[in-house]
Amino acid sequence: MKKLDELAHLLANPVLPKASRYWSGADVLIASAPQPDHLRKSFYPRGREVLTEHALEVSYFFDVLRGPFYEEALIDHFSKIEFFGRLAAAAEACLLEQPDATTHLVCAAVLREAYAMARQMDESEFDFL
Mean pLDDT is lowest, of 6-10, 21-25, 32-36, 58-62, for: 32-36
Task: Quote the CA–CA distance of 65 and 108 in Å, as a whole number.
Answer: 12
Q: Alpha helices, DSSP H only, in 72-102?
A: 80-97
> What confidence category does residue 127 fall into, taking pLDDT thresholds of 50, 70 and 90?
confident
Strands 24-25 and 48-51: unpaired
Query: Mean pLDDT over all residues of the chain?
Result: 92
pLDDT reading at 14 higher than 90: yes
pLDDT reading at 39 higher than 60: no
Q: Give the model confidence (pLDDT) of 50-106 as tens digits.
A: 999 999 999 999 999 999 999 998 899 889 999 999 999 999 999 999 999 999 999
Give the mean pLDDT of 39-45. Answer: 58
Task: Quote the CA–CA distance of 64 and 45 in Å, as a whole number.
Answer: 26
Query: Can you tell me whether residue 63 is helix, strand or coil?
Result: helix
> What confidence category does residue 1 fall into, taking pLDDT thresholds of 50, 70 and 90?
confident
Share of the chain above pLDDT 90, in %: 79
Query: Can you tell me whether residue 22 is helix, strand or coil?
Result: coil
Task: Quote the CA–CA distance of 79 and 6 in Å, as a whole number.
Answer: 24
> What confidence category does residue 40 fall into, taking pLDDT thresholds of 50, 70 and 90?
low
